[in-house]
Structure 1
Amino acid sequence: MKQSKNQYKIEAPSFNLQQYLKRIKFSGEVELNFAGIKKLMQSQLFTVPFENIDVQAGKIISLAGDDIVDQIINKNRGGYCYQINGIFSLALQEIGIPHYYIAARPMVNPGENAKTHFGIIATIENEDYLIDLGFGGNSIREPLKMSEIGKEIKHDSDTFTLVKTEDDEYLLQILVGKEWSNLYSFNLTPQRWIDFKPANYYNYSHPDSFFVQNLIVVLPNQLGKKILFKNSVKSIINGKTKIASFDDEDLKTILETEFNFKDL
């Protein structure tokens, strides 16, 4: 029997839409159109950081829905793709936007990579869109229409394109200078939430994992983004970049003042 694309999603009985909207500083009613979902997506992007602080602390990263709600809403924290896109999926479920999950193969690191990234395909006004809030400094900033193959798509100061590969997969690229850089590839095979458990385990525990090797925190804003990587903070505003280094003892203060963390 053919499985529905809307089955097997993250579950979290503790998720409360109004608490979520308050956490992401969303004002007004959520409209079930492109503009409304873009507003919801950017409200979360600008308030919930992409971060791997618990990975760096050697902690187990839970994929239990209620644990993700507790971390992001109650503890005012962020997470990486599973937590960030996971909580957005809970919001989409609550407001009634049809969507399903995809597994993507990151291509920003050298060598062969497994499909460890988690994204969302949502149907908005009878069109399918890629939604992804959890790809660090190179995340798309609004729903990206799947039918716009080969087009240059501006998201504020970033430019993306979606192309089809010879393997009949989709490849998301970002324009860096005058060259297109690969971000990740994927197909439209629906994934169950449980399918991401092995990838999550690899990401938080394997010595080869980028997240085990490096501290990273990213918080986009209306004019650009701030990226903490190892011992420096890169601020990108209207396409212009400034980089400042810091000492280990200043990390807590920087996380609180620059990335809106509380009670670390």
Structure 2
Amino acid sequence: MDELNELFRKRVGISKKGRITFEHLDTVLEKTAKTIPFENLCIIENRTTDITKGNLVNKMLMKNEGGLCYELNSILYFFLEANGFNVNLVRGVIFNHEAEDWLTLGRTHVAILLNHENETFLVDTGFGGNLPLRPVPLNGRTITSNNGEFRVSRMNNKHGDYILEMKIKHKDQDWRIGYTFDSKQPVQEVSEFNEIQKILIENEESPFNKNPLVTQLTAKGNKTLTDTTFTEWVDGELKKDKVDNDRFKELAKLYFGLE
């Protein structure tokens, strides 16, 4: 077993022994979502590094930090690949519901396509609180998890050929678009994500270069920490507290394991 495989299993709480099969992926995705937070602290604190396999291992599996979509899904991709899965990374564009249009930042979302028994599935552990927690087939079939309902539909547009749609538990009454992605343009090397990281650091419209954000799913909902509030959804009930800088650091360590 290679180092990444062993460290990933240790980080998310999977047995070091035993083969990971397709039937195990629900458990892998739930454990990953509840262990490795979605967060932008490296960008806010100006300590980003180049996107390489080694740097991702160091950041998330040795220092036990979290990351954004291009980091979280890259480390999951390497883990799945190490366990014999047929996987590719793809890029997509988030839908902006306020503007009712695609975000203008370009293809800055990253996800995984997994092929299993002549069927293709979308796998994503880097979409904040909107994670399917299951592989989602590209044939339009709805899957249900503890986080809601999800489906992938074919929809050709200027940014891709499929869309992820979702109804988040306790929040959405109707289907809404999460993002589009291009299944025909697989990513060749994770170094391509340095372009995404640069955009998210420098672009004025980036949602990740202004204020710290840490969010993670839990057994009963999710928890989100910013520099002003700590929010918890527990069984559909919302709890919100104000925080200051000292409290932020305290809660980041207490609730997310971040120093």
TM range (shorter): 0.7 to 0.9
Rounded to whole Å, the distance in 2 between the matches of 1:157 and 1:39 is 14
Change in Cα spacing, 1:75 to 1:198, as seen in structure 2 (3 Å) is same
Q: Deviations over 1:201-240 (max 9, x none)?
A: 1012323211002321111122221122341122122233
1:214 maps onto 2:175 in alignment:
no
- Any idea what SS the aligned residue of 2:134 has? coil
Moved more, 183-192 or 15-24: 15-24
Q: Which residue of 1 aligns with 2:164?
A: 172
Q: CA deviation at 1:166?
A: 4.8
Change in Cα spacing, 1:232 to 1:255, as seen in structure 2 (3 Å) is same
Moved more, 196-205 or 67-76: 196-205
Rounded to whole Å, the distance in 1 between the matches of 2:254 and 2:76 is 25
Q: Which runs of 5+ in 1 are unaligned?
A: 1-13
Rounded to whole Å, the distance in 1 between the matches of 2:18 and 2:27 is 8
1:205 maps onto 2:202 in alignment:
yes
1:55 maps onto 2:43 in alignment:
yes
What is the total number of aligned residue pairs between the two structures? Answer: 247
Rounded to whole Å, the distance in 2 between the matches of 1:241 and 1:29 is 39
Change in Cα spacing, 1:36 to 1:28, as seen in structure 2 (3 Å) is farther
Match of 1:258 among 243, 252, 255: 255
- Any idea what SS the aligned residue of 1:85 has? helix
Q: Which residue of 2 aligns with 1:246?
A: 243
1:104 maps onto 2:96 in alignment:
no
Q: Deviations over 1:36-75 (max 9, x none)?
A: 1222222221111111001111233420111110011111
Match of 1:192 among 188, 206, 215: 188
Q: Deviations over 1:89-147 (max 9, x none)?
A: 11112111011111110113635421111110012344211011001121221211222
Q: CA deviation at 1:163?
A: 2.3
Q: Which residue of 2 aligns with 1:67?
A: 55
Q: CA deviation at 1:28?
A: 6.1
Native 8 Å contact 1:103 1:186 kept in 2: yes
Q: Where in structure 2 are the equivalents of 1:4-43 lying within 5 Å?
A: 15-27=3-15, 29-43=17-31
Rounded to whole Å, the distance in 2 between the matches of 1:130 and 1:185 is 11
Moved more, 117-126 or 159-168: 159-168
Rounded to whole Å, the distance in 2 between the matches of 1:106 and 1:96 is 29
Rounded to whole Å, the distance in 1 between the matches of 2:132 and 2:46 is 29
Change in Cα spacing, 1:229 to 1:251, as seen in structure 2 (3 Å) is closer
Rounded to whole Å, the distance in 1 between the matches of 2:37 and 2:220 is 16
Q: Which runs of 5+ in 2 are unaligned?
A: none
Q: Which residue of 1 aligns with 2:177?
A: 182
Rounded to whole Å, the distance in 1 between the matches of 2:74 and 2:23 is 21
Percent of residue pairs bearing the same amino acid type: 22
Q: TM-score, normalised by structure 1?
A: 0.85
Change in Cα spacing, 1:27 to 1:93, as seen in structure 2 (3 Å) is same
Rounded to whole Å, the distance in 2 between the matches of 1:102 and 1:27 is 28
Rounded to whole Å, the distance in 2 between the matches of 1:40 and 1:30 is 13
Rounded to whole Å, the distance in 2 between the matches of 1:105 and 1:61 is 23
Change in Cα spacing, 1:29 to 1:166, as seen in structure 2 (3 Å) is same
Q: CA deviation at 1:29?
A: 4.2
Q: TM-score, normalised by structure 2?
A: 0.87
